[in-house]
């Protein structure tokens, strides 16, 4: 089915003519306003100026009277701060004196051992089931050891787990767990 080009153009032109005629003949009157109540009509009559051109009563004295200035600003619009609400007034609470502060007794005995400065960087397990810990101090080559070995001449490996090891100083004080993350 071949549509004749002339028929399509004539149909489009006819449609445009119909739209133009409808636009011209469309009613140009505004929609009616809703009915106002008597109270609203009275107020509107007071507000509108008289139609006969007589002057409106303006109280110039009231316009020239001194006014209060703006109060102190309670907030800064250029800075985020929550609004501060003053606390409600309270009745006078009885004053309670705090108990006297006594100094904590100083610990007696030797000072605690310093922390072990090594980091665990790996755990190796041999075919025979023996676990080896790989440690570093961050300055020298990695150090290796198994349960009971002395590392760096100062520390003893007590127990090697899957993700941590337990170490002490060679004199037996300052037991510390070192995790695989290095802490």
Write the DSSP string, 8-68.
HHHHHHHHHHHHHHHHHHS--PPPPPPPPPHHHHHHHHHHSPPTT-PPP---HHHHHS--P
Domain housing 156: 119-179
In a domain, 93, yes or no: no
Sign of CA dihedral 14, 16, 20, 26: positive
In a domain, 146, yes or no: yes
Distance CA 132, CA 146 (A): 5
Specify the 3-state DSSP secondary structure of 5: helix
**pLDDT for the residue 39:** 57
In a domain, 92, yes or no: no
In a domain, 133, yes or no: yes
**pLDDT for the residue 131:** 93
Residue 93 CA to its chain's centroid (Å): 38
Distance CA 136, CA 97 (A): 55
Per-residue model confidence as pLDDT tens for the chain (183 residues): 566 888 889 999 999 999 998 888 887 666 556 555 555 555 555 555 455 667 788 888 888 888 887 777 666 778 777 777 778 877 666 777 888 888 777 777 778 888 999 999 999 998 998 999 999 988 989 999 999 999 999 999 999 998 999 999 998 888 999 998 755
What does the CA dihedral 85, 89, 94, 99 come to, rounded to 10 degrees?
10
**pLDDT for the residue 12:** 92
Backbone angles phi, psi at 159, to 5 degrees: -150, 140
C-alpha distances out from residue 176 to 75, 105, 119, Å: 54, 26, 12
The total number of residues shown for the chain amounts to: 183
**pLDDT for the residue 86:** 79
**pLDDT for the residue 18:** 92
In a domain, 84, yes or no: no
Q: How many domains, in total, are found in the chain?
A: 1
Predicted model pTM: 0.41
In a domain, 5, yes or no: no
In a domain, 96, yes or no: no
Yes or no: say if 146 and 160 are a contact pair by the CB < 8 Å rule.
yes
């Amino acid at each position: 089915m071949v549509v004749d080009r002339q028929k399509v153009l004539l149909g489009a032109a006819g449609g445009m003519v119909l739209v133009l005629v409808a636009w011209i003949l469309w009613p140009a009157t505004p929609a009616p306003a809703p009915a106002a109540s008597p109270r609203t009509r009275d107020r509107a009559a007071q507000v509108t100026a008289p139609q006969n051109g007589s002057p409106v009563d303006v109280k110039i004295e009231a316009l020239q009277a001194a006014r209060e200035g703006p109060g102190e600003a309670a907030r800064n619009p250029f800075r985020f701060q929550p609004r501060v609400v003053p606390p409600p007034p309270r009745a006078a609470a009885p004053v309670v004196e705090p108990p006297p502060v006594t100094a904590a007794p100083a610990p007696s005995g030797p000072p605690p051992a310093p922390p072990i400065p090594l980091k665990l960087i790996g755990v190796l397990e041999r075919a025979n089931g023996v676990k080896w810990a790989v440690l570093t101090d961050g300055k020298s080559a990695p150090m290796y050891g198994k349960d009971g070995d002395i590392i760096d001449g100062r520390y003893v490996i007590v127990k090697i787990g899957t993700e941590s090891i337990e170490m002490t100083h060679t004199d037996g004080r300052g037991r510390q767990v070192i995790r695989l993350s290095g802490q």
